[in-house]
Amino acid sequence: MNRPLVALLSGAGISTDSGIPDYRGPNGLWRRDPEAEKLVTYEYYMGDPEIRRRSWQMRRRAEALTSGPNAAHLAVAALEKSGIPVPVITQNVDGLHQLAGMPARKVLELHGSARGVVCTGCHARGSMADALARVEAGEDDPPCRECGGILKSATVMFGERLDPVVLGEAVAITKACQVFLAVGSSLQVQPAAGLAGVAADHGARLVIVNAEPTPYDERADEVVREPIGTALPRLLRDLAGQGRRLPDGL
């Protein structure tokens, strides 16, 4: 494996400029509505039809499915397009890195994708858009069309394990990079948060860009509290100066 210059871990904070609320910030979803956490908790979801119905209604309103990439997502994609490899490890499920132009194969979605659905019985997969069309047509808890099982978002709910293959790839990238940028993540949700420590342990320069303090700030070489939409493009331009210049206009 070639040693990449930079690897990026992105959390909810990178998408707030796209209109997608974070979870644990001062105005985060869990602070505004603690009950909302039940809607994405596997045990509650599987055991309570009313939770599922509420979950489908929440998905109908989800900003993650209607928002577009912002300056931070575009800056990451521009660095990749300039010829400097920048593997992305994301805790987000919104798919905005890909919409910004990052090749899907270079984005590791630790927590899955809100743009798809999966059957909890036969594991058949489909698009979230198709499932939501069924909800709009009157199915308040649409079952799997293959086996009649319970459908869920193709995201990792609370109480579910991360895909070990995806996590393994993320750890390998983290160990190999020279610079590890943790952007918009509270670094509180394990095992994703632990990647920051893995990067530092393996000699990477650890840079944390986040509005609130994180448990890994003391281990970081640099902590940036500026808005991500301006701070990340600047950081990436600086990193690009170690290789080749980014395209004009970034």
The Cβ-side half-sphere exposure at 56, using a 13 Å CA radius, reads 24
Q: What global pTM score does this model have?
A: 0.87
CB 236, CB 209: distance < 8 Å: no
pLDDT at position 245 is: 43
Q: How many domains does the chain have?
A: 2
Last residue of a domain, one of 97, 131, 155: 155
Range of the domain at 59: 23-66+115-155
Q: Report the alpha-carbon distance of residue 51 to residue 56 in Å, rounded.
A: 9
Whether 195 and 235 map to the same domain: the answer is: yes
Angle at Cα 135 formed by Cα 95 and Cα 38, nearest 5°?
Answer: 65
Report the run of H or E that residue 146 belongs to, with start and end. none
Whether 55 and 85 map to the same domain: the answer is: no
Helical residues (DSSP H) of 5-116, grouped into ranges = 29-32, 42-47, 49-60, 71-81, 96-99
Whether 106 and 129 map to the same domain: the answer is: no
The CATH number of residue 139's host domain is: 3.30.1600.10
User: Active-site residue numbers?
Assistant: 111
Whether 130 and 99 map to the same domain: the answer is: no
Whether 180 and 241 map to the same domain: the answer is: yes
The CATH number of residue 11's host domain is: 3.40.50.1220
- Helices and strands: H and E segment counts in the chain: 9, 9
pLDDT, one tens digit per residue, over 51-75 is 999 999 988 887 778 889 999 999 9
Whether 5 and 75 map to the same domain: the answer is: yes
pLDDT, one tens digit per residue, over 170-195 is 999 999 999 999 999 999 988 999 99
